[in-house]
Amino acid sequence: MSAVRTLPSAAQPMTSTTTRPKLLTALTIITPIAILIGVYFALVYAGQEAQEGDVQRIFYLHVSAFAGAFMAFGATVFAGLAYLRTRNPKWDKLGVAGVEVGLVLGLMNLTTGSIWAYPTWNTWWTWDPRLTSDAIMCLTYVAYLMLRQGIENVETRHRFAAVYGILAYSTVIITFIITRIRPDTIHPVVIGNSPQNAQGGFALTPSMIAAISVNSIIWSILVPWVLVWWRIRLENQSQRVQAKRAQLMEQ
């Protein structure tokens, strides 16, 4: 009788732990396929831009990478608020995962923008408000990771990271809106009216709108969330290894 009573309670954790990896496995398979579909839309389906030619196609990754960073950094804000309310360490894991994934996508956005700038502006870098704010955004989150490592007390580190992650999101918002509030920027606005001084602007055709929409959806939903999920699982595995190591050292 006792064996019968303990069987369901032992089976329940096994079910909950196996359903999540199955979903993650499915998303991990779907995401690369979706990225390839996005590449097709960017390189084949979208028509060639009349003024910039094929150089304009880099904007499909450039804009989509920022959309992904926007979502990943937003997850850090959510995690920070949740941690400050509950003090549950799982939210700290989500927060740092969001920063790491968002930083990679932010650097992709910055790099592709620089690659586009050379043939368009005849320089790899200019201190345009948009480029400068983008660089400040990335450096802000680099500082998050560096300062986090310098705090030894776990609770203090988690609390600091939560507050910092919330405040740092202001750099993301500024980077997003700066081309719309600074008339002196030469950076074009992909969706909406560009500033008067914009150099390298282009008019979106229906095929271009489809390409940028598909890629933005893929890079803002599938890519960041799959990477964040894997990063959290990696952190959980790392903590289990550290706990086992500590147990062996005590024996």
Burial class (CB in 10 A: 0-12, 13-18, 19+), 45: middle
Lowest mean pLDDT among 5-14, 19-28, 234-243: 5-14
Residue at 100 is within a domain: yes
Average pLDDT, stretch 132-146? 95
Average pLDDT, the chain: 86
Q: Is the pLDDT of residue 90 over 60?
A: yes
Query: Is the entire prediction scored with pTM above 0.75?
Result: yes
- Judge whether residue 91 has pLDDT over 90: yes
In a domain, 159, yes or no: yes
SS3 state at 43: helix
d(CA 140, CA 146): 10
Question: Would residue 42 count as lying in a domain?
Answer: no
**What residues pair up with 49 in beta bridges, in sequence order?**
53
The pLDDT of residue 200 is 65
Domain that includes residue 173, residue range: 59-188+202-235
Domain count, the chain: 1
Joined together, the tokens standing for residue 150 give: 């310098």
Q: Has residue 180 been placed in a domain?
A: yes
**Average pLDDT rounded to a whole number, residues 163-172:** 97
**In-domain check, residue 48:** no
Greater model confidence, 100 or 209: 100
pLDDT: which is higher, 177 or 12: 177
Does the pLDDT value for residue 165 go beyond 90?
yes
Q: In this structure, are residues 167 and 179 in contact, taking their beta carbons and an 8 Å threshold?
A: no
Residue 196 lies in a domain: no
Residue 203 pLDDT exceeds 80: no
Q: Is the pLDDT of residue 15 over 70?
A: no
Residue 44 lies inside a defined structural domain of this protein: no
Distance CA 230, CA 21 (A): 10
Q: How confident is the model at residue 16 (pLDDT cuts 50, 70, 90)?
A: very low
**Tens-place pLDDT, residues 115-128:** 988 888 888 888 88
Domain membership flag for residue 163 = yes
pLDDT band at 194 (very low <50, low <70, confident <90, very high): low
| Percentage of residues of the chain with pLDDT beyond 90 | 55
> Is it the case that residue 27 has pLDDT exceeding 90?
yes
What per-residue confidence (pLDDT) applies to 180?
82
223-250 and 58-86 helices cross at what angle (nearest 10)? 50
Closest alpha carbon to 141 in 184, 93, 179, 107:
107
